Amino acid sequence: MTSSEALQLEARKAALLNAIRHGGKAETGAVIGRLLGAHPELRQKAAEVRTLVAGVLDQVNTMSLADQEKVIQQNWPEELAKEKPKTERGLPPLANVDKYPKIVTRFSPNPDSVLHLGNARAVILSHDYARKYSGKFILRFEDTDPRLKKAALQFYDLIRTDLRWLECAWDEEYCQSDRLELYYQYAEELIRKGDAYVCECASEDFKQLIESGRACPCRALTPEENLTRWKGMLEGEYDEGEVVLRVKTELDHPNPAVRDWPALRVIDPVKYPHPRVGSKYRVWPLYNMACGVDDHLMGISHVIRGKEHLTNMERQKYLYKHLGWTYPDAIHYGRLHLVGMDLSKSKMMRALEEGTYSDLSDPRLGTLMALRRRGITPQAIRGVVYEVGPRPVDATISWENVYAANRKIIDPTARRFFFVDRPVVVTISGVKSSRTVKIPAHPEHPEMGARELTIVAQDGTCHLLLSKADLGILKPGTVVRLMELFNMKVVQASESVTAEFQSETYAEARKVNAPLVHWLPEEHNCKATVVMPTAERIDGLGEPDLTQCHVDEVIQLVRFGFGRVDAVAQDSIGIYFAHQ
Ligand SMILES: [Zn+2]
């Protein structure tokens, strides 16, 4: 099959699919859009594509809807299945889906740090919307500021790990630092068309002029003069801060910050080498130039991001107008206030350098690395993101929201263990013999097995370990239920704690409203350390079976809380606390 025949067939398929979605009549624009989306190289041959599509539509649009469906069923049955709308767990539909051949979204982090909980919204919404519409999700590293927001190699990979963990696999990946020639190409096009100029004014002078709606002298230069300056920029005739390429806007735009915005500038390549491309480039695009060009070239249909980007959209729309492009649909969701979480990236990176935090997974941080380490699940984060969704109103979430969502997910599968922090010894008399008790790993799931604890009685006495935190309920005369063991009556609880055997059953304990406490045999246990969200380390002892856990397992320490197993050795375990 020649490529023109293949294209003809593809156009027919696109036309038929579009037709059945629109009552039997395909739309020219949508079919062309789908072809250009699948084959960006055809963008230069738009006229030929238009002729081809017109011919195909003449034929397809005379068919009945039933015939159209029959042809698809015969040739592309898998496409019919895709047409059935999948409800992606409560995401509201995207606007203008039919305008695009394919829904394409992107997540575009700066690899100067790892992702934090606040980023999860952009990642999950962008990814899940692409999946909801069988579209494409792009990961784009925005690494074009080697001076102030310098990328570091390790973060590219750590961000990829974060995305995989969030179950947001991407279909394509780009680094803007690979694409500088492209930005240069469009910069030159803008200059040639008189839509951009190279400004040599001191920034203070420019600011004064532009704030009163006046042009700086550079704006009136001819494209030729600007091209000469531009060449000078690329060839090193200007130092950092001496020059900037500006995209023209209305001089009286209501927001002065939009007026003739800066698109590319010089960064000293020796002083500020880039971690990926070294000192190869001295002219770097600013955010709106790189992002604007890429969103178009990558065929992004829906940009999903916070409303702090509204002004950037204003700026980029000028770029699109100058270059004859159509701006994608943009969804600007409201601010997310994360109560009790300080998510400022710069503050965090500074504190890290100063040694305040051990590393980026320090439990005090709101990074995904830290949440992961503590046993917060990606499903819980997705649940919280869906709660706030893409709505434009501001929302507030707290740690408690995250914990509640996580608890629901981990509680049914977390094995239970006793952990006694700051242990105190209790001597219990009246215990006739040693015994081994079998305790279910999960009270509601017997199929998860059981663990065994053995207490040793000698001359009618045994020694158990109780948590220091429980000393408060160990008043003389009080009956206490030792969970899954027996009931004891406290005799004395001053310097040392002594008690006597009271009765066997839980029913007897309930009759006297006995408080329940967990315990460990003094003879059989393992060392256990729990790292709390405050980074405090709590040393204690745990059941011997804890050392059979595997790293990453999420468990529940009875009456203490959930946590993730971080390290296991022969006779000790390290746990990161998640929540109660
Ligand atoms: Zn100027």
Question: How many Å apart are CA 55 and CA 470, to the nearest integer?
Answer: 82
For the chain, the residue count is 580
Structural tokens at position 17: 């699919």
Which one-letter amino acid corresponds to residue 273? P
Burial environment of residue 546 by CB neighbours within 10 A (0 to 12, 13 to 18, 19 or more): buried
Distance (angstroms) between ligand 1 centre and the Cα of 200 equals: 5
Distance of CA 221 from the midpoint of ligand 1 (Å): 10
pLDDT at 195 over 50: yes
Q: How far is the CA of 233 from the centre of ligand 1 (A)?
A: 14
More confident site: 139 or 47: 139
Q: How confident is the model at residue 84 (pLDDT cuts 50, 70, 90)?
A: very low
Enclosing H/E stretch for 288: helix 287-297
Q: Per-residue confidence at 4, pLDDT binned at 50, 70, 90? A: confident
145 CA from centroid of ligand 1 (Å)? 22
pLDDT at position 221 is 97
Query: What is the distance in A from the centroid of ligand 1 to the CA of 180?
Result: 24
How many Å lie between the centroid of ligand 1 and the Cα of residue 220? 9
Q: Ligand 1 mean position to 252 CA, how many Å?
A: 17
Chain segment 398-437, per-residue pLDDT in tens: 899 999 999 999 999 999 999 999 999 999 999 999 999 9
Give the CB-side neighbour count of residue 125, counting CA atoms within 13 A: 27
* HSE-up of residue 457 (Cα within 13 Å, Cβ side): 14
pLDDT averaged over the chain? 93
Looking at residue 89, what is its pLDDT?
58
pLDDT at 22: 57
Give the model's confidence band at 81: pLDDT under 50 very low, under 70 low, under 90 confident, else very high.
low
Q: What is the pLDDT of residues 531-562, one digit of tens each?
A: 999 999 999 999 999 999 999 999 999 999 99
> Ligand 1 centre and the CA of 201: distance in Å?
4
Q: Which amino acid is residue 275, in one-letter code?
A: P
Cα–Cα distance between 109 and 360 in angstroms, integer? 17
Q: In the predicted model, is pLDDT for residue 160 greater than 90?
A: yes
**Ligand 1 centroid to residue 427 C-alpha, Å:** 85
322 CA distance to ligand 1 centroid (A)?
20
Please give the distance, rounded to the nearest whole angstrom, from the Cα atom of residue 246 to the centre of ligand 1.
9
Distance 251 CA to ligand 1 centre (A): 13
What is the pLDDT at residue 87? 41
The kind and range of the H/E element at 80 are helix 77-83
Nearest by Cα to 26 from 11, 15, 37, 12? 15
In three-state secondary structure terms, 390 is coil
pLDDT of res. 1: 53
Six token digits for residue 364: 């005090």
pLDDT at 16: 87
Q: Report which listed range, 16-30, 60-74, 98-112, 482-496, is most confident.
A: 98-112
Of 299, 329, 320, nearest to 102 by C-alpha is 299
Mean pLDDT within 117-126:
95
pLDDT at residue 32, rounded to an integer: 80
* Span from the CA of 197 to the centroid of ligand 1 (angstroms): 8
| Beta-carbon contacts of residue 482 (< 8 Å; ≥ 6 apart) | 464, 488, 517, 518, 519
Amino acid 340: pLDDT: 79
